[in-house]
Amino acid sequence: MDDLVALCKRRGFIFPASEIYGGINGFWDFGPLGVLLKNNLRDRWWNDMVLCPPIGPDGDPLQIQGVDSAIIQNPKAWEASGHVAGFSDPMVDCKLTKLRYRADHLVAVVDERNGQIFAFNQDHLEEKATLKKLKKQAGTDELAKLKVVPFSTIAVADYAKVIGPDTDQKGTLTEPRAFNLMFKTYVGATATEDDVAYLRPETAQGIFLNYKAIVDNMRVRVPFGIAQVGKAFRNEVTPRNFIYRSREFEQMEMEWFCHEDDAAKWFEFWVETRKKWWQSVGVSGDNLIIRTHEQDELSHYAKGGQGTKDIEYRFPFTAPGFGELEGIAHRRNFDLTQHQEFSKTKLEYFDDSVQPPRRFIPHVIEPAAGLTRGVLAILSEAYTVDPSRPSGVYLKFKPSMAPVKAAVLPLTNKDGQPEIAQKLYYSLRTKFVTEYDTKGNIGKRDARHDELGTPFGVSMDGEKAKDDAATIRHCETMEQERVALDKIE
């Protein structure tokens, strides 16, 4: 992971936000290469969901409409959706170090000989520093004698015996308390408590708020979908793992409105379709699993019904385990029912395609993917160590995802070569993202494009230019191929 983060910085994919001020935890900026990669993934999703949606189980293309809703909505929307009351994580503070932890990410290591308890981040449990601290503080090498239990099982009365993750003193951790993840702001100049509004923590609600306008104006019939890509904001207690869990990120969400009786069928359809989609953008099936949520981890809107299944990816920091890339939830008719009640606006659908006609509030199957997290999955998948190359590493993207598709690399300044190379560049750049690269020797230029994951490097020297051809170097195989100039495109 450290190597990937370093490459992302060195090659202009992703930078820490506000770096010249020491950064700001949980925020990242996409550089010139990163924004190209992210847009490729976003556009591909938009194409495959909205412009050219999948063929449904009955052989017809599905209907999916796109929207781009406001990030700030009427705050009542977030009361109706349950986010004001329920969108929180349990948080524990260390009074001494002022560090903050997600209680549900902590484990307690109990020394049964003396009742001493050590709290650790579950991800750090296997790390050397953790084991060293345990051995030293528990005064034993026989760690097998220590019992590991979820932190939530520790009684508050025993907190005085707990040594926190980043201290060696007892009793410094506070009781867990619910911490709402929504960022608050004020709308208007008076900035009183009556003016509080929230940055959206999911793009989904902007879709539910537009459901009526789409049904009334867009000639859609249930089942149909509404899709949106955009920023979401969560004041995560512990942002971590590069862009995996950040405080500002992008989602690609689609709400599929259907009749309750068909929800189970559509749920399975979307789980399968979405898993295949990730494979189509270059995420290997071996690194993907589908995991069904346990009852106690379901979001408030997904209790009952088909529940939620996650598509998980084997990220470098979760390996050999997996981390969530996309969740497919059966939100039932929870959101529309809530918005109907809170807004006093009828959100029922009138279906006259059946006899007798019926009115109902549609159920919703929601494939909710992370765009930012998707970029991390694609980068992790592409990152390939290869000691035989000068760069020692290259990015093996599917060409459709690669930020730069081709590099035009003239080798000398003679024989009219720059002119030929430029002509080719001017033509290629109108169709593909193409770089004209003359800096440094060809080995250095190849090494750079290996690290950018540019699938095709087109080089030409005076000799070769005479036969109206150039050499294409394939990034993935390093094979070289002579191709006539007019066939290169």
Instruction: Give contact residues for ligand GAP (rule: CB under 6 A).
Output: 202, 204, 234, 236, 245-246, 249, 251, 253, 324-327, 366, 368-370, 372-373
Least Å distance between CB 366 and ligand GAP? 6
> Cβ closer to ligand GAP: 366 or 435?
366
In the complex, residue closest to ligand GAP by CB: 370
> Cβ closer to ligand GAP: 11 or 373?
373
Least Å distance between CB 36 and ligand GAP? 20
The residues facing 414 across adjacent strands are none
Least Å distance between CB 311 and ligand GAP? 8
> Cβ closer to ligand GAP: 325 or 465?
325
> Cβ closer to ligand GAP: 165 or 239?
239
> Cβ closer to ligand GAP: 373 or 405?
373
Least Å distance between CB 236 and ligand GAP? 5
Least Å distance between CB 317 and ligand GAP? 14
Nearby residues of 229 by Cβ (< 8 Å), 6 or more positions away: 42, 45, 46, 68, 203, 250, 251, 252, 253, 371
> Cβ closer to ligand GAP: 90 or 327?
327
> Cβ closer to ligand GAP: 297 or 486?
297
Least Å distance between CB 74 and ligand GAP? 18
> Cβ closer to ligand GAP: 154 or 325?
325
Least Å distance between CB 201 and ligand GAP? 7
Nearby residues of 161 by Cβ (< 8 Å), 6 or more positions away: 115, 116, 117, 170, 171
> Cβ closer to ligand GAP: 245 or 363?
245
Least Å distance between CB 307 and ligand GAP? 13
> Cβ closer to ligand GAP: 252 or 485?
252
Least Å distance between CB 199 and ligand GAP? 13
Least Å distance between CB 315 and ligand GAP? 11
> Cβ closer to ligand GAP: 111 or 236?
236
**Residue 374 exposure: Cα atoms within 13 Å on the Cβ side:** 31
Q: How many CB atoms lie within 10 A of CB 75?
A: 18
Nearest-angstrom CA–CA distance, 245 and 373:
8
Least Å distance between CB 183 and ligand GAP? 12
Beta carbons of 348 and 361 less than 8 angstroms apart: yes
